[in-house]
Chains A and B, each alone.
Chain A
């Protein structure tokens, strides 16, 4: 909901998250469910890895020709009777949609799930104009009631437990009987369905995001399981699609190729329940559907990422697999990242969109274990991109003085190989001697951050360089 990032306080956020028992309980579901489901569904499709290669190449082709595809897409939207609004910034995007709503006399807006709408702060902008924005995805509805932002790009309320949802519904739905039974998740869903059905029917404008924009036909595609994105666009008089410029795909066939990796990577489904292709306003032969169709094409920093070392990030199709598999996300959840996009993709995208000065901690919050890259359906080299941000942070002197000093010290030795070998050899021997008998340290000066939680294994003899040298020599001796 907020556009004001708390990313600069990542360390504080992470500490609070680790100490939050309810959050840790909820995150247990992420660790188990998403990973097992994706693995099972990928195994069932022999072509899955080839489809990932194809998806990567397809996204790269689009990015390399983005200007031409955007023009082609716009032409088709106009031909089908729709409108296209190009916006440079988050502020422009919100303003266009608020003006549209005001000029149509809208009092309420039904929203399908859209991360770009979070990025542009749309709900807050509508509220300021006196227009009620209603989130209709169950997870988004729950967190809107709680005044929270999504903690996951496809499972926005994944940080909550069932009892949190029950408490919230009891607090807000005061017009319902106090003694009603909400002990089963089914009853919570039924209550949200009934409350939201009335809101769909009353909405003047529906806003949805887009998973893909098809240049061939001027079509926007959304993928949902609940059907809320569909009710948001077929019941109100006006359908507004808000989408960032890189969502373009050339043809319907290309959309099908990406659909084959999207749901499998995201939720571990073969296909999401509703894949909806929307083109223009209702036609003469239609008896329902919106009378107006608008697309708000958002740049907000993306055109600057093209041609940079972060261009590969624009391949992203927002499946969430990277965060589902990330040990850091599993530990701290999405809110700790402090802005719209959490997890590994957020650690790369957030500094691009709000600045490395504000979001520099995010690319540092990675062990570079590489699981994100290994599951990304479009093979974004996320660890490499995070490393680029670390380099930029260092170059701009944004990293803390202590780590800069230690890196400087290390660099001094690294540039003097003989001295480096001597110093590391000495250190290894000293550490091995200090840990004699135990082979590990339970406490070490300057390393309490590590040893408070676990033991540090002690070096067992030679340095890596010395061992490597011996290994090579032994190999040369063999025939």
Chain B
């Protein structure tokens, strides 16, 4: 018998069930198809303003820095200020996301390059798919519009997030993914990011900037 058959038959023998147990299969199929939400924390629920407030609170609590702009066209200037404030070069790496491409980067004197990172970029910028209020979490998905290496290799990761994309819970992000990719289908990588990289492996002292970005700056568009 193959290892697969061995393991499955051992599981069934231990559980005292057969492989052709229709009610068990039906209950699994039903659960997968329904993908019901479990208990949703009260936190993060409410109107858009409440979600924005909770997102900002939670994000700042994990050392994410936050900037606000009324319109996305103002984001480049704010990002340029952020880079200057931290003595960083006015260079940004980004994917070919249409939402980023047409912004007035030149007017903010920012030098832009496109594509995945090979590890020598200091700063990157991404456009978030969504934010999650309950823990101040960003959702990013892979693709040419936002290569995953941009989320991890540069020292400073800047993420533009529309206030209207802030959801209460992770489950709303899953709903967006199903709508975009189809039920049961996923992009190669979905990153839920909650703060800059950190480690507490030395005497449990919390240190920022382990392997991923040392800084995570979120620019929230609108209110």
* Nearest neighbor of B61 in chain A, beta-carbon distance: A270
B6 at interface (Cβ–Cβ under 8 A)?
yes
Give the residues in chain B near A200, CB-CB below 8 Å.
Answer: 211
Q: Which of A80, A142, A273, A287 contacts B201 (CB 8 A)?
A: A142
Min CB distance, A195 to chain B, in Å? Answer: 11
- The CA of A139 and the CA of B210, in the complex, are separated in Å by 11
How many angstroms from the CA of A277 to the CA of B140 in the assembled complex?
A: 10
Q: Which residues of chain A are within 8 angstroms of B135 by Cβ–Cβ distance? A: 270-271
Report if A133 contacts B (CB, 8 A). Answer: no
Report if A108 contacts B (CB, 8 A).
no
- Residues of B near A245 (CB, < 8 A) are 7, 11
Q: How far is the CB of B60 from chain A (nearest CB, A)?
A: 12
B123 within 8 A of A: no
A162 near B203 with CB under 8 A, answer yes
With CB as the reference atom, state the residue of chain A lying closest to B38.
A257
Does B12 count as interface, using CB distance less than 8 angstroms?
yes
Complex CA gap A201/B118 in Å reads 8
From residue A196, how far is it (CB to closest CB) to chain B in Å? 7
Known: A228-B210, A286-B188. A252 touches B119 (CB 8 A): no
Is A67's CB under 8 angstroms from B15's CB? yes
In this complex, what residue of A is CB-closest to B183? A216
Interface string of B148-162 (1 = CB under 8 A from A): 110111000000000
Whether A226 and B212, one on each chain, are in contact in the complex, defined by CB atoms closer than 8 angstroms, is yes
Residue from A45, A139, A185 whose CB has the most chain B CB atoms within 10 Å: A185
Q: A68-B24, A86-B2, A217-B185 are in contact. Are A274 and B193 (CB under 8 A)?
A: yes
**Interface pair B147/A226, CB less than 8 Å apart:** no
Shortest Cβ gap from B173 to chain A (Å): 9
The answer to whether A303 and B10 have CB atoms under 8 Å apart is yes
* A158 touches B (CB below 8 Å): yes
List B1-52 residues whose CB lies under 8 Å from chain A. 2-4, 6-8, 10-12, 14-17, 19, 24-25, 27-28, 31-32, 35-39, 41-43
Question: Shortest distance in angstroms between A163's beta carbon and chain B's nearest beta carbon?
Answer: 10
Whether B36 pairs with A68 at a CB distance below 8 angstroms is: no
Interface size on B, residues (CB 8 A): 81
Q: Does A411 contact B (CB under 8 A)?
A: no
- CB of A138 within 8 A of chain B? yes
Task: Name the one of B6, B10, B41, B198 contacting A273, with C-beta atoms under 8 angstroms.
Answer: B198
A87 to B4, CA, bound (A): 7
Q: Which residue from chain A places its CB closest to the CB of B213 in the assembled complex?
A: A227
Complex contact B202–A289 (CB within 8 A): no
Task: Please tell me if the beta carbons of A256 and B171 are within 8 angstroms of each other in the complex.
Answer: yes
Residue of B nearest to A293 (CB): B188
Flag whether B207 is at the interface (Cβ < 8 A): yes
In contact, A225 and B198 (Cβ under 8 angstroms)? yes
Chain B neighbourhood of A64, CB < 8 A: 15
> Does residue A360 face the partner (Cβ distance < 8 Å to B)?
no
A54 near B198 (CB under 8 angstroms)?
no
Whether A250 lies near B144 (C-beta < 8 A) is: no
Fill in one digit per residue for B186-217: 1 if any A CB lies within 8 Å of its CB, else 0.
Answer: 11111111111111111111010111110000
A323 CA to B109 CA in the complex, in Å?
53
Asked if residues A69 and B152 are in contact (CB atoms below 8 Å), the reply is no
Contact B38 A228 (CB under 8 A): no
A137:B191 contact, CB within 8 angstroms: no
Interface residues of A in 83-137 (CB under 8 A from B): 86-88, 92, 136-137
Query: A9 contacts the other chain (Cβ, under 8 Å)?
Result: no
- A307: which of B8, B15, B177 is its contact (CB, 8 Å)? B15
B184 pairs with A228, CB closer than 8 A:
no
Which residue of the partner chain A has the closest CB to B196?
A273
> Smallest CB–CB gap between A244 and chain B, Å?
11
Q: Choose one: A228, A288, A304; the contact of B211 (CB below 8 Å).
A: A228
Q: Which residues of A contact B209 (CB under 8 A)?
A: 189-190, 193
Q: Does A275 belong to the interface (CB within 8 Å)?
A: yes
Which of A230-238, A374-382, A385-393 contacts its partner?
A230-238
Q: Does chain B have a CB within 8 A of A265?
A: no
How many Å lie between the Cα of A87 and that of B2 in the bound state?
9
Whether B17 lies near A67 (C-beta < 8 A) is yes
Residues of B within 8 A of A279 (CB): 186-189
In whole angstroms, what is the CA distance A280 to B186 when docked?
Answer: 9
A282 interface residue per 8 A CB criterion: yes
From residue B162, how far is it (CB to closest CB) to chain A in Å?
21
Tell me if A157 is interfacial: C-beta within 8 Å of chain B: yes
Residues of B within 8 A of A65 (CB): 24, 27-28
**Which of B14, B17, B189 is A303 in contact with, Cβ under 8 Å?**
B14
- Residues in A whose Cβ lies below 8 Å from that of B38: 51, 54, 58, 253-254, 256-257
Which residue from chain B places its CB closest to the CB of A143 in the assembled complex?
Answer: B201
Query: In the complex, what distance in Å separates the CA atom of A80 from the CA atom of B203?
Result: 41
B174 → A minimal CB distance (Å): 4
Contact call B210/A253, Cβ cutoff below 8 A: no
Write out the residue numbers on chain A whose beta carbons fall within 8 Å of the beta carbon of B198. 225-226, 273
B193 adjacent to A68 (CB under 8 Å): no
- Write out, one digit per residue, whether chain B residues 169-184 have a CB within 8 A of any chain A CB (1) or not (0): 1110010010000001
Residues 248 to 269 of chain A near chain B (Cβ within 8 Å): 250-254, 256-257, 259-260, 267, 269
- Out of B17, B35, B143, B152, name the residue touching A252 (CB < 8 Å): B35
Q: How far is the CB of A413 from chain B (nearest CB, A)?
A: 39
Give the interface of A toward B (CB within 8 A). 26, 29-30, 33-34, 45-47, 50-51, 54, 58, 61, 64-72, 76, 80, 86-88, 92, 136-139, 142, 155-158, 160-162, 165, 185-186, 188-190, 193, 196-197, 200-201, 215-219, 225-228, 230-231, 234-235, 245, 250-254, 256-257, 259-260, 267, 269-283, 285-289, 297, 299, 303-308
A45-B41, A226-B197 given; name 14 further pairs at CB < 8 Å.
A87-B3, A139-B199, A142-B201, A185-B203, A217-B184, A225-B198, A228-B211, A257-B39, A270-B194, A278-B188, A281-B188, A286-B147, A289-B188, A306-B11
User: Closest 3 interchain pairs by CB?
Assistant: A227-B212, A226-B210, A139-B201
18 CB < 8 A contacts A-B: A137-B201, A138-B202, A139-B201, A158-B204, A160-B202, A193-B210, A230-B148, A234-B148, A250-B32, A277-B192, A278-B189, A279-B186, A286-B142, A288-B149, A289-B188, A299-B3, A303-B11, A305-B14
